[in-house]
Amino acid sequence: MIWILLGAPGAGKGTQAKRLQGDLGFVQISTGELLREAMKAGTELGKNVEGYIRRGELVPDNLVAEVLQERLAQGDTGNGVILDGFPRTVRQAQMLEEILARHHWRLCGVLYLDASEEVVLHRLGGRRTCPQCGANYHVVTMPPKVDGRCDRCGAELVLRPDDALDAIHKRLEVYREQTEPLVAFYSQRGMLERIDAGGDAEEVYRAVKTAISRRWQQCLANG
Ligand code: AP5
């Protein structure tokens, strides 16, 4: 079963995907994380995408679809796969339909984390990331136990390069123009679950789980 987490930068997609992974045994596939790993490893792909990411622009559809297909081909689907950050354009959504049809995989639902611009600006401005294990924190709402250090692996936390103010504004502009149309795209297909993502992480997670259990029944009933 495949699930999509859709939402603006900073809406909390990664935070919720990690909870679903730890709690329900879902497999999180974050195209952003895969691309950042490639950058860190200095691969050809990493070199090709670095400029786009630093500027807050989208990586070209074909490139990112290839990254997703390679990851899906590893075959670890757990209790469900949660796509965090893919698709991000209508073209990517169409490509995903083709990929899923080819593998006979079913899209169960699209969890749309709806948060205001004010909320996402606050979240991205205070985010700190672990460069070692990928854990995310927020200086106010989710601080680490020891200031500036990852709770899980002890590495020094950093600011993501695309969390600089200019790049944040660019990412939000790109989201409005290229990704937000997916809300209508999936709504028309009866796949969309709108979730108020303005509350704290626990409240949002409860709403995410409610939406999943509702959709899960439908997905099973539809064979
Ligand atoms: P990606 O890594 O996907 O970044 P994003 O979509 O911009 O999303 P973020 O990771 O910034 O935010 P999030 O919604 O996951 O929020 P988080 O949980 O961290 O993509 C990065 C780049 O890669 C793109 O710009 C693009 O260049 C490229 N890319 C990736 N996929 C692509 C694709 N498909 N096509 C083309 N290009 C692609 O939370 C944010 C902060 O808020 C954290 O500090 C967290 O602790 C805190 N927080 C979270 N939830 C709450 C809450 N409920 N209450 C309080 N604080 C909270």
pLDDT tens profile 70-81: 999 998 989 999
pLDDT value, residue 98:
96
Range 174-198 average pLDDT: 97
Arithmetic mean of pLDDT over the chain: 95
pLDDT tens profile 144-175: 999 999 999 999 999 998 999 999 999 999 99
7 SS3 class: strand
Q: Residues enclosing ligand 1, CB less than 6 A?
A: 7, 9-15, 30-32, 35, 52-53, 56-59, 64, 85-86, 88, 92, 123-124, 126-127, 136-138, 141-142, 162, 171, 200-201, 204
Do 117 and 172 touch, CB atoms closer than 8 A? yes
Do 104 and 223 touch, CB atoms closer than 8 A? no
For the chain, the 3-state helix, strand and coil shares in percent, each to the nearest 5, are 50, 15, 30
pLDDT tens profile 80-133: 999 999 999 999 999 999 999 998 899 999 999 999 999 999 999 999 999 888
Question: Both tokens of residue 212?
Answer: 């999943």
Q: What percent of the chain stands above pLDDT 70? A: 100
Is 160 known to be catalytic? yes
CA distances from 90 to 94, 97, 186 (A): 6, 11, 10
Q: How many whole angstroms separate alpha carbon 2 and alpha carbon 108?
A: 6
Instruction: Name the nearest CA neighbour of 130 among 122, 121, 138.
Output: 138
How far the first Cα of the chain sits from its last, in Å, is 11
Range 39-45 average pLDDT: 95
71 residue type, one letter: R
Do 112 and 7 touch, CB atoms closer than 8 A? yes
Query: Using 50, 70 and 90 to split pLDDT, how confident is the model at 220?
Result: confident
pLDDT value, residue 24:
94
Q: Which of 70, 136, 202, 205 is the pocket-test mutation for ligand 1 (most atoms within 8 Å of CB)?
A: 136
Range 191-219 average pLDDT: 95
Query: What secondary structure letter does DSSP report for 179?
Result: I
Pairing of strands 136-138, 81-84: unpaired
Q: What angle, rounded to 10 degrees, do the helices at 165-174 and 117-125 form?
A: 140
Instruction: Name the nearest CA neighbour of 88 among 28, 9, 18, 192.
Output: 9
Q: What percent of the chain stands above pLDDT 90? A: 89
Chain centre distance of CA 156: 23
Range 197-218 average pLDDT: 95
Q: Is the pLDDT of residue 223 over 80?
A: no
pTM equals 0.95
pLDDT value, residue 103:
87
